[in-house]
Structure 1
Amino acid sequence: MFSIGDFAALGRVSVRMLRHYDAIGLLRPAATDPVSGYRYYRADQLRRLNRIIALKDLGLTLAQVADILDNKVTVDELHGMLRLRRAQLEEQLSADAARLAGIEARLRMIEQEGHMSTEDVVLKRIPQARVAELSAVAASYEGPDIGPVIGPLYQEMWRRLKQTGATVTGSPIAYYVPEPGADGDGQEVRVHAAVEVAANTPAGDGTLDILDLPGIQSAATIVHRGPMDEAFRSMQILARWIDDNGYTPVGYAREVCLEFDPENPVNWVHELQLGVARP
């Protein structure tokens, strides 16, 4: 038999981990010296240790591992547990990929700072528009919180527009307003998914919110090309232009969708509009 130190080395685990497995009954030593308390293991116990490590690396809890090894879990139940873990890992990979893309975009922004031109910013008047819209609350203004809210809002809005027969006359417009009590530090915001409709569209029966979106007397605008989770690049240019020209922002930015490719966000084109005024 092997001492706990030698067995830990053979199994490529720590002595502390083996003691923990013994304490919870997951892997008992083959023998324990009644005087010294030293633990000893047989070579064939490496098989159980290897299974514990393999199942643990799949993300299963030690309680689940114990049930599997002690045949308390059926084959179908095991398949279900592993399918669930696979779905969790796929979701995590997707989130990590999105986070990595965001970091790369931020790095590109840092590298471009000081070399970005504000010549593409246009100051213009935005007229009042009759819009149909739906809204919902997002946990924050961050892209990962906005995306899962605004997408379903637009899908539902298009569905309801078909029901009402309202005539769409312009582009989709998204805008965001802090929820009452929000302090602007990552708090909840109300996401408005709107689209311009005919000026004579009646208020309707509540299927959609029909309202007049106020015009903007003086708006600094810029065309952003690409995914909206990289819109901060264009917003930074807009902010620099506002500062350089002695303006202050008024209200909240609007996003007008000019081109939308459901297959590839790289092809998206939006105009960002932000009201400005002289201080």
Structure 2
Amino acid sequence: MFGIGDFAALGRVSVRMLRHYDAIGLIRPARVDEFSGYRYYTAAQLPLLNRVIALKDLGFTLQQVQVLIDEKVDPGELRGMLRLRRAQLAEEMAAGTARLALVDARLRMIETEGHMDTGDVILKNIPAVRVAELSAPASSYDGPDITTALSPLYPQLIERLESGGVTISGPPMAYYLPDPHGPGDESITVHAAFPITGDVPADPGFQVVDLPAVERAATLLHHGPMSEAFRTGQLIANWIDDSGYQTVGSGYAREIYLDCPMDDLSKWITEMQVAVAPVT
């Protein structure tokens, strides 16, 4: 048998926690000295302790843990529950890491306010282009909302283009339009597209759209992940304001993904294009 301190050390829990588990009847000591009141545990109680800790980590209250223990949840069910919880925690960590990266990017923008170099913005004509596209709704123009809606569309579109024998004639692109019928005031429709040439089979599983020429567009290369595209968007906005132009249409930037290695988002190169016209 082990004293409460040794058992706590073996189970990687605190003595205080074991005392609490005893008080609520969750894990009773194997023996209590009748004179000193000292608690003793056995190695055979460690599996029960492991289950209690695992169920707590799943988010169950101690009262719920007691019910599950009494119902004798089998190891297979517990493993499944733990795998699900692990996946949820991994997703939360990834989301937290992404949010931290955005905070850092916003902080860098704040630190460079008043020192933004807009000299690399180029005003140019964008010729008309025929594209194959898939679209999806997004709740807002916020980065995570766009990524969630847009990312799944490209592999689907590539598969359908290859299946139909359609020739892709340029890099992937995306554009955005307001969605007046969406669930919220900020709802938009995201469009994932590839420029194409040649014939398209009947019922290809995607839309063919002729995007009209843009007489003037303020363009700038964005280097890095699209989660930080707001940095480049703000540079374009400053250039538009300083140069006597105004946005045309929705004001959303069209994005041309010139180089997008999937194994390193920091090496992405994206041309951002915003339609503009002189202020009248």
1:27 deviates by 8.5
User: Residues 51 and 160 of structure 1: is their aligned pair in 2 closer, same or farther, counting only changes over 3 Å?
Assistant: closer
**Which residue of the partner structure matches residue 213 of structure 1?**
211
> Is the counterpart of residue 59 in structure 1 residue 90 in structure 2?
no
CA contact (8 A) 2:164 2:201 kept: no
Correspondences of 1:102-251 after superposition (within 5 Å) = 102-181=102-181, 187-198=186-197, 200-202=198-200, 204-251=202-249
> Could you say what secondary structure the match of 1:80 adopts?
helix
**Structure 1 stretches lacking a partner, 5+ long:** 1-8, 29-41
**Which residue of the partner structure matches residue 32 of structure 2?**
none
1: CA distance between counterparts of 2:275 and 2:182? 21
- Report % sequence identity: 46
TM-score (norm: length of structure 1): 0.79
Deviations 1:105-161 (A, max 9, x none): 111111111111000000011011011111111222222222132221010111011
1:183 deviates by 9.4
Deviations 1:9-32 (A, max 9, x none): 96269xxx99xx96xx8689xxxx
Deviations 1:183-215 (A, max 9, x none): 985x322110011111x5447424221120111
> Could you say what secondary structure the match of 2:152 adopts?
helix
User: Residues 70 and 45 of structure 1: is their aligned pair in 2 closer, same or farther, counting only changes over 3 Å?
Assistant: farther
2: CA distance between counterparts of 1:111 and 1:184? 33
CA contact (8 A) 1:126 1:218 kept: yes
User: Residues 67 and 223 of structure 1: is their aligned pair in 2 closer, same or farther, counting only changes over 3 Å?
Assistant: same
Deviations 1:26-78 (A, max 9, x none): 689xxxxxxxxxxxxx7649999977973464133125411343252112111
**Structure 2 stretches lacking a partner, 5+ long:** 1-13, 29-36
**Which residue of the partner structure matches residue 34 of structure 2?**
none
CA contact (8 A) 2:132 2:195 kept: yes
**Which residue of the partner structure matches residue 85 of structure 2?**
85
CA contact (8 A) 1:222 1:272 kept: yes
User: Residues 72 and 56 of structure 1: is their aligned pair in 2 closer, same or farther, counting only changes over 3 Å?
Assistant: closer
**1:146 partner amino acid:** I
TM-score (norm: length of structure 2): 0.78
Greater shift, 170-179 or 237-246, is seen at: 170-179
User: Residues 277 and 58 of structure 1: is their aligned pair in 2 closer, same or farther, counting only changes over 3 Å?
Assistant: same
1:241 deviates by 0.3
CA contact (8 A) 1:121 1:222 kept: yes
User: Residues 43 and 50 of structure 1: is their aligned pair in 2 closer, same or farther, counting only changes over 3 Å?
Assistant: farther
**1:98 partner amino acid:** A
